[in-house]
Structure 1
Amino acid sequence: MHLLALPAFDDNYIWTLVGDDGAAVVVDPGDADPVLAAAGQGLKPVGVLVTHHHGDHCGGVPTLRERWPELPVIAPNDPRIAGATERVGDGDRISLNGWDFSVIAVPGHTLSHIAFHRTGGDAAGQVFCGDTLFSLGCGRLFEGTPAQMLASLERLASLPGITEVCCGHEYTRANAAFARAVEPDNAALRRRSEEVDAMRENGRPSLPSTLSVELACNPFLRVDMPSVRAAVAARLGREPADRVEAFAELRRWKDGFRA
């Protein structure tokens, strides 16, 4: 098995788990064309996983279903996602091509957002988390509350540290600039930022990351750290009332941040 990130649009990734025979599980195909192009090179889609209803994550599903009418499409229980053959929710388990996935509800970016966690078969495993957790960042709150998003991020953060974080966008470089503004003295963050700069300058994806890296560097997973709380307090002019307010202010800060 190997992991392949198919670029789409300006900064999306369509993640694919590919077996030795080319059989592939495709995650969040917002655009069918990269998948069809990969199929022309031997990729054989055997299933689709969708994390949420935004078009850049599910817009290619109808075209893929036209090309492969029997293709299973597994999505959250949200009528805004067309073409799903199976709806799943928190705690459900599914198997595709011999790979097992558990479903984790992660509301915040959208209310019906889910993540797919694959374990077994190798040491690492992956979490396909859409637009909930990014490397060095997190998704905007379009439908959910700060409390929901913080709880969702903590559910993801509780997975094994070696888990590969397969998020939906190449946002890491921009996220690093914000993270450094929050924690300028974080040595692990400085190393990750330098690594990302080198990857992007060489035309390589900055992803996947790992949860252990994110726990060391991502301010949205570090709201209880004194350095992050101090940065938030400086923004508020007082100590945050609780960790949810700390997270909410951090997200507001990021929403208006310009490097």
Structure 2
Amino acid sequence: MLTLVTIPCLSDNYAFLLHDDATGATALIDAPEEAPVSTELSARGWGLSEIWLTHHHWDHVEGVGALVEATGAKVLGARADAHRLPDLDRSYGDGDQFQFAGHDVHVMDVSGHTVGHIAFYVPDAGCVFTGDSLMALGCGRLFEGSPEQMWDSLSRLAALPPDTLVCSGHEYTAANAAFAATIEPENEALKQRTEAIAALRKKNQPTVPSRLSDELETNPFLRAHLSEVKAALHMDAAPNAEVFAEIRRRKDSF
């Protein structure tokens, strides 16, 4: 059995622990800072076996050095991004697969936010670690990649099983919900989700991870191909990636 733990870090980041109960192996996905991760590991009596990195931005890697020094964990990341990541023990590219405590881990290139950004899909855990690619009700800004790249990345993530948990890197969900309502103000699923998000945040509880099925119903960045979204933007005949680009443009200035 695999246990998933969400760890708030910095002001609005998340890291995740994936623990195999049978072997005691533990993986950390992204390392925004050391202290909250070490505190969680200590509280649970877990060691740290591996650190998986989605991309090179400082708020996802800052804690790597201290954690490696303290635990001896091996660091895994994207081959294409290795020159910008902390020193890697193993590197992977799109379509690669590796084993974690006997469980398959599938590596997906999800470039767009950055070039070389990867996601880790773990079928046995029913979750995908997406960093700043697909986020709860949003997606990352296109700092390096093109709209076409990001739309392709999001489309591939959208094709995973609907009950997959999307483990993304930030607590941006309430703001994302407010923007989503400007695209689809009559979306009933979005209205209900926005209320649920407000209730969670009022209790200072995370809105991450989210269910992919919910993202498919409410996340405007996954819905750029739908006729109703195109109509709302007066882009009925536009290619999907062009509609996505317009939604991203609007979010950037929201």
TM-score (normalizing by structure 2): 0.94
**Equivalent residue for 1:119?**
123
d(CA) in 2 for partners of 1:34, 1:96: 23
Aligned partner (choices 244, 249, 255) of residue 246 of structure 2? 249
**Equivalent residue for 1:168?**
169
d(CA) in 2 for partners of 1:39, 1:106: 29
d(CA) in 2 for partners of 1:28, 1:161: 24
d(CA) in 1 for partners of 2:131, 2:20: 22
Secondary structure of residue in 2 paired with 1:156: helix
CA deviation string 1:91-118 (max 9, x = no partner): 1111122332100001100000000000
Q: Flag as ranges the 4+ runs of structure 1 deviating above 3 A.
A: 19-23, 238-241
**Equivalent residue for 1:64?**
67
**Equivalent residue for 1:101?**
105
**Equivalent residue for 2:138?**
137
2:96 touches 2:106 (CA, 8 Å); kept in 1?
yes
d(CA) in 1 for partners of 2:250, 2:108: 27
**Equivalent residue for 1:26?**
28
Secondary structure of residue in 1 paired with 2:59: helix
**Equivalent residue for 1:37?**
39
Indicate the percent of aligned positions where both proteins have the same amino acid.
46
d(CA) in 2 for partners of 1:110, 1:175: 20
Task: Count how many residue pairs are aligned between Structure 1 and Structure 2.
Answer: 249
Secondary structure of residue in 1 paired with 2:108: strand
1:173 touches 1:196 (CA, 8 Å); kept in 2?
yes
TM-score (normalizing by structure 1): 0.92
d(CA) in 1 for partners of 2:224, 2:180: 12
2:130 touches 2:166 (CA, 8 Å); kept in 1?
yes
Secondary structure of residue in 1 paired with 2:50: strand
1:65 touches 1:83 (CA, 8 Å); kept in 2?
no
Gaps of 5+ in 1: none
1:75 partner letter? G
Aligned partner (choices 55, 73, 76) of residue 74 of structure 1? 76
Secondary structure of residue in 2 paired with 1:16: strand
Aligned partner (choices 91, 98, 101) of residue 95 of structure 2? 91
**Equivalent residue for 2:201?**
200
CA deviation string 1:51-83 (max 9, x = no partner): 0000111111111111123x2111002211012
Aligned partner (choices 37, 52, 55) of residue 55 of structure 2? 52
How far apart are residue 207 of structure 1 and its match?
1.6
2:47 partner letter? K
**Equivalent residue for 2:188?**
187
2:167 touches 2:210 (CA, 8 Å); kept in 1?
yes
How far apart are residue 229 of structure 1 and its match?
1.1
2:227 touches 2:236 (CA, 8 Å); kept in 1?
no
d(CA) in 2 for partners of 1:73, 1:65: 8
2:76 touches 2:89 (CA, 8 Å); kept in 1?
yes
How far apart are residue 199 of structure 1 and its match?
1.0
Gaps of 5+ in 2: none
d(CA) in 2 for partners of 1:52, 1:197: 29
How far apart are residue 239 of structure 1 and its match?
5.0
Aligned-CA RMSD value: 1.4
